[in-house]
Chains A and B, each alone.
Chain A
Amino acid sequence: MSGTDAIPEFPKRSAADGADVSLTNMSALTSGPGVRSLWEVAAIAAVAVLIIGGAEFLLRFFQVPHYVLPPPSTIFMALITEFPHIAPHLGHTLVELLAGFAIGASIGLVMAAVITQVPFLEKIIAPYILLLVTTPMLALVPLLILRLGFGYEPRIVAVALAAGPMVMINAATGFRRVDSAKIALARSYGASTLQIFWKIRAPMALPMILVGLMIGAIFGLLTAVGAEMVGGGFGLGNRLTTYSSMIQMPQFFAVVLILSILGILIYMLFFLIGKKWASWEA
């Protein structure tokens, strides 16, 4: 039986191990804001009306000056009238976000897939990944600008640095979720390591990968805007600094609103992908 040494042994695991009940579980994404009843939708809308209406009323009633906080209606008006001027900046921010995210997420995914196959390597690298995750990449932006100038490049690098480790750490959690019985199943049919990766490990990891991609994208957005605030004359972050320095608060808050909407769109995108491809876990 010496020929079977190539077959690794699988640590015993209870079935419960497969369904880890962590905060970062995919169910947060798929079963969170799931299908809502009409009544719930109405209630959410009512709360929104109450908050916006209440703010509008209070701000006007107490005559809070616009440079402190403009009422919602003024912000909406500014959003509409100022949008043609903001749109190109939105485009710049999106370019940085997409490029940086694509680079960071790809590297993060590949690294997660590779290091989880080699437990020793993973142990060595883990502290550095943690360092990358916890270090605010924004802190590096002045340095990046010094090296790469005032164009897209430093921002794209910053976004990649912010998104990559987030994607990686979550994807690695996913890839680590080995279900020895499922791998044994594939092996019993003679599956190769590559087949086991694509047909068992990757689908098992997908929910966590999606969580990582979502968190990475949101961190990427924050970092892109932050980097734009540091230097270079374009992007939504630049608009924030410009408008606030000119005390154009309605326009300023219009940009804040756009950023909120961007964040929600990112969340919804991954929520829908999760719903379609990873709902088996919920």
Chain B
Amino acid sequence: MNNPFIRLEEVSKSFGLLTVVEGLNLEIGKGEFISLLGPSGSGKTTILMMLAGFENPTSGAIWAGGKRIDSLPPHRRNMGVVFQNYALFPHMTVSQNVAFPLKMRSLPRAEVKERVGKALDMVQLGSLAERRPSQLSGGQQQRVALARALIFEPEVVLMDEPLGALDKQLREQMQLDIRDLHRRLKLTIVFVTHDQSEALTMSDRIAIFNRGKIEQIGKPSDIYDHPSTQFVAEFIGETNLVWGTVKSMEGGTARVQLPAGQQVLVETATDLGPNSKVCLSIRPERIKVGRREAAGNNITAAVSDIVYHGDHLRLIARSDGQSLIIKTDRSQPTLSIGDEVQLSFLSSDCWVVRP
């Protein structure tokens, strides 16, 4: 990145003997929406807390806007934080909550009033200004937290699973609202989430974390279509992992032999030596049923289970000891368990991942 706005440089964090974040390097551009995604305990919150200044890195440096900030106390970092449980002040009304950051900056009273009004209108809460947080619904509290974190026009907004406590419908609505605010206000947002579909729909880039390290970072489509490791392939979406041995390599295509003897063609950017063991990831929705693909790979298999999912069917098929999941639309001719089916997939839908 040419001119990153936030830069984490070899940042590590340990609690006693437990190392939670290890040698992290991360650059975030101005106006970017980046999601941190990873399993529980992978250190996402810890990174956010270090950005906000509530935790100090054990080693390494954090830069923001060209200044080193890792020894700056939280109240001087000018970052808006939205917590999972919203952290609204229960002893203040909605408007007092939203006015808080402006009061801390000693703005004149008239201006505070005006900006609070605007901010509440922006999140459509103007009519609830005098209520206490306990008298609001979850979604309303969430919007107050958002208004409070944005009203002082921070350079960065940090959000830690801000939608975790909302039900599905509300969550989707809020996802759209936050994306909209991000575009309109040109905010830089660091967004922590558990929910992969949320990360895929909202972010400019996603960083996948595993045990305090970044497994892969990139655009949502990159991550989904070209997972670089087995962990990422399994963590994002669903996948079939197949092991095999490289037989030959021609241009960008490798011929890989599966344990049962079938051979498949695989497009890959890396050069694979003959006889090396590889792991392949094939997305279930990329496997076609009942069609032969002249340019692709073809396998015959027996259907061992069919699961109805409303908008699609899920087949479990076995072929020579290898079990595959296939997502298929419902227009498929009716299949039943035990049927023999023809499976096919393109060599470009078959992706080599690092174990």
A and B: partners?
Answer: no
